[in-house]
Amino acid sequence: MDLYPAIDLRDGRAVRLYQGDYGRETVYNDDPVAQAVAFAEAGAAWIHVVDLDAARSGTPRNREIIAAIADAVSVPIQTGGGIRDEASADALFAVGVTRIVLGTAALEQPQLVRSLASRMSVAVGLDARGREVAVRGWEEGSGRDILDVAKEFADAGVEALIVTEIGRDGTLSGPDLVGLGDVLDATELPVIASGGVGSLDDLRALDGLRSGGRRLSGAIVGRALYEGAFTLGDALAASGYPS
């Protein structure tokens, strides 16, 4: 299981939101580039970067920082937030991003996902409250069921589905193992878990999750790392990485 330490960007800083609430923000680092370098030096195989400002508004606000992160580290960067047209996707790849994540656009413009996935590395972000997928920085409900949406992208050419339970995100309360198992059952696409990891036992549970003969391909971790619940090295070991 790949581990993705997360850097969520807002106003140029590395932050975390509690349950996706922009009014409940904690700033963890004023220098996101230095944070990315620290993650890379600690052994991260990927870094997950989200432009929270763009996710909310659709307007890129932190692209220069994302470019600086990609330039500062040699590990691949996966990034999402506000990517709602081909120009935005192309701009991110031009600055060194390895994989983009489409959330709102995937719900509202599924044809865009297919078009981009035909020529670049794309993941679909499925951010849900319960079973309803949310859009526009998690501030609006789509009225769509996460399992139905997951199935729709089976043949779209995407590399992964990133599944976030919004009610657990930033809470350290543990991942939604049942919900993740349901998504594994619903699709053959690789599934990356996000939201709720608060302990090494949570990571071990994710690494050990099996449903329909399948397992998770990755997990995204944020607040637990920033608050010192465990080190990235220990997290990598708990996620099945060789020592």
The confidence score (pLDDT) of residue 19 equals 66
| CATH code, 193 | 3.20.20.70
The confidence score (pLDDT) of residue 196 equals 93
> Residue 55 falls within a domain, yes or no?
yes
Which residues carry out catalysis?
8, 127
> Residue 21 falls within a domain, yes or no?
yes
- Rounded to two decimals, what is the model's pTM? 0.93
Both structure tokens of 73: 């580290």
* Count of domains for the chain: 1
* Structural domain of 145: 2-238
The confidence score (pLDDT) of residue 96 equals 97
> Residue 74 falls within a domain, yes or no?
yes
The confidence score (pLDDT) of residue 138 equals 57
The confidence score (pLDDT) of residue 21 equals 72
> Residue 243 falls within a domain, yes or no?
no
- CA angle, residues 136, 163, 89, in degrees to nearest 5: 55
> Residue 127 falls within a domain, yes or no?
yes
Weakly modelled stretches of the chain, pLDDT under 70: 19-20, 137-139, 141, 242-243
